[in-house]
Amino acid sequence: MEGRDRNLHEECGVFGIYAPGMDVARVSFFALYALQHRGQESAGIATSDGHLAYLHKGMGLVAQVFNEKNMRPLKGHMAIAHNRYSTTGTTSLRNAQPYLIETLHGPLGVAHNGNLTNASRLRLKLLQRGVGLVSGTDSEVITQMLAFPQNSNSWEERISAFMAEAEGAYSLTILTKDAVFGVRDPWGLRPLVIGNFPSGGWALASESCALSTIGAELVREVEPGEIVRLDANGVTSTQGQPVKEKALCIFEYVYFARPDSILGGQAVHLVRQRLGEELAREAPVDADIVIGVPDSSTPAAIGFANAIGLPFTEGLTKNRYIGRTFIQPDDRLRQMGVALKFNALDANLTGKRVIMVDDSIVRGTTAGPLVRLLRQAGAKEVHVRVSSPPVRYPCFMGVDMATQEELIAHRLDVEGIRKHIGADSLHYLSYEGLIRAVTAGASQPSSYCTACFSGRYPVPLDETWLRQRKSRKESFETVRE
């Protein structure tokens, strides 16, 4: 996706574990490490021993936030954890998760992936009740809503009461005195899976790749509208709210999920290969080699090459650590842009007609420099193929995306984009091709959120919230887009 300044960022990754006898803080650390691609701004772990709760969180990557010293106090046999990329609330420690507060019912910790589309209305209700808020995130709103209904007899009832009022996307892991909960919105917009350990214990994670990393086995997905409880009795399930029309974010398959994850019963890597195969059938071109934009476009490029009968090779190498430093480049280096993140392999490109496969073009700020980089390395022709349809509409369900005016496919047609990026030809995968590729390996019929391509949003959008999003202002602080 346009190199990886990316312009689209999944909001975060969440994790939960109930496993007596395990060092759950250490297990959570490695699970967050596996989910690092879902958020790089902050990380946090909250644990409980059944009496007291403990928390450490900080700004930066997982390996920058945690060390042996600050993990030592994180005691207990259950935990939740979070990686964050902000879509609401600024990049600051007070917006980092998990949130951990004390309630009449004991400690309450919350980790959230998604966006509430009626957050402004819910926030106002809390303020009118006299509840003080210290951040600009909808995740804090969720935490306070769960803490507020004091007359409820159980956490399941409190969670269900929240779900009845909430609109939008949320996959949650929740820590209480006695249990860890997993919650998924009635549309299933953001992923959440359950795993178990051969030696005993249970885990929840945004993606199955985190379960594999910590030695847990994937059991199943948390169903839309479901509340899952992990405690001394194992796993119990409650339907918190009736299932709406299922609408898993289809961009999980295009880009967000790690290729080794299982999503909707399908290996993400294989779905991406099918995206490339569909694209090759729709938009073949005479060329010599096929390359992908590292790393998420590689499976689609392999599928494209196999379908068209051309060799797949590396044309770009990526500096995987350039985005992992707090030291900002000076003006001269900043102007080099893509060259900081990619180098072209001249030996593979000189004199060649190149097909460059990317998974998406958002603002169009990176595709052009990549095309120029390939030409400077000796490519005779550069044909760009995109393994998803044009992104014409912003996302309001937990993805950090440009405003509609900033989306290049909203402003320009395909030919205009081709001229803008300087490619010899440009083709996107059709909407129909996208659906064919994603559904071809599904074990049962399903539906997806395709709003960024189609403009059809599965959940109602609150007008006040939309105005605040457009102006990029919250009542507490500026929204980080």
pLDDT in tens, 54-79: 999 999 999 999 999 999 999 999 99
Residue with tokens 């997982």: 62
Looking at the fold, whether 201 and 241 belong to one and the same domain comes out as yes
pTM of the predicted model, to two decimals?
A: 0.90
pLDDT recorded at residue 231: 98
pLDDT higher than 60, residue 471:
no
The residue annotated as part of the active site, out of 12, 249, 395, 449, is 12
Looking at the fold, whether 215 and 305 belong to one and the same domain comes out as no
Q: Which of 45-49, 203-207, 247-251, 361-365 has the lowest mean pLDDT?
A: 361-365
- Considering the domain boundaries, does residue 204 fall inside one? yes
Who has greater pLDDT, 376 or 400? 376
Residue with tokens 């007070």: 94
Looking at the fold, whether 173 and 274 belong to one and the same domain comes out as no
- Considering the domain boundaries, does residue 464 fall inside one? no
Q: What is the mean pLDDT of residues 389-399?
A: 87
- Considering the domain boundaries, does residue 255 fall inside one? no
Mean pLDDT (the chain, rounded): 89
Q: What is the mean pLDDT of residues 246-254?
A: 94
pLDDT recorded at residue 42: 94
Name the token pair of 237.
């399930």
pLDDT recorded at residue 402: 62
- Considering the domain boundaries, does residue 260 fall inside one? no
Looking at the fold, whether 379 and 287 belong to one and the same domain comes out as yes
Number of domains in the chain: 2
403 band by pLDDT with thresholds 50, 70 and 90: confident
Looking at the fold, whether 332 and 391 belong to one and the same domain comes out as yes
- Considering the domain boundaries, does residue 462 fall inside one? no
pLDDT tens string 175-197: 999 999 999 999 999 999 999 99
Distance CA 380, CA 354 (A): 8
Looking at the fold, whether 81 and 40 belong to one and the same domain comes out as yes
282, exposed or middle or buried, with CB in 10 Å at 0-12, 13-18, 19+?
middle
pLDDT higher than 50, residue 474:
no
pLDDT tens string 84-142: 875 444 557 888 999 999 998 899 999 999 999 998 899 999 999 888 888 878 999 99
Looking at the fold, whether 199 and 330 belong to one and the same domain comes out as no
Looking at the fold, whether 154 and 240 belong to one and the same domain comes out as yes
pLDDT tens string 317-336: 988 766 555 555 666 666 56
Clarify whether 12 is annotated catalytic: yes
Residue with tokens 């939008």: 168
Looking at the fold, whether 110 and 191 belong to one and the same domain comes out as yes
Looking at the fold, whether 341 and 414 belong to one and the same domain comes out as yes
**Which CATH number fits the domain that encloses residue 400?**
3.40.50.2020
CA angle 12, 18, 21 (to 5 degrees): 130
167 band by pLDDT with thresholds 50, 70 and 90: very high
pLDDT recorded at residue 74: 98
Looking at the fold, whether 335 and 369 belong to one and the same domain comes out as yes
**Which of the 8 DSSP states describes residue 253?**
I
**Which CATH number fits the domain that encloses residue 60?**
3.60.20.10
- With a CB cutoff of 8 Å and minimum separation 6, the contacts of 290 are 301, 304, 305, 308, 310, 311, 312, 313, 354, 355, 357
Looking at the fold, whether 348 and 232 belong to one and the same domain comes out as no
Q: What is the mean pLDDT of residues 399-403?
A: 68
- Considering the domain boundaries, does residue 194 fall inside one? yes
Name the token pair of 473.
């202002």
- Considering the domain boundaries, does residue 206 fall inside one? yes
- Considering the domain boundaries, does residue 164 fall inside one? yes
Where do runs of H (alpha helix) occur along 110-244?
Answer: 119-128, 138-147, 155-165, 208-213
Distance CA 363, CA 178 (A): 46
6 band by pLDDT with thresholds 50, 70 and 90: very low
382 band by pLDDT with thresholds 50, 70 and 90: very high
Q: Which domain holds residue 207?
A: 9-247
Residue with tokens 């803490």: 147
pLDDT recorded at residue 103: 92
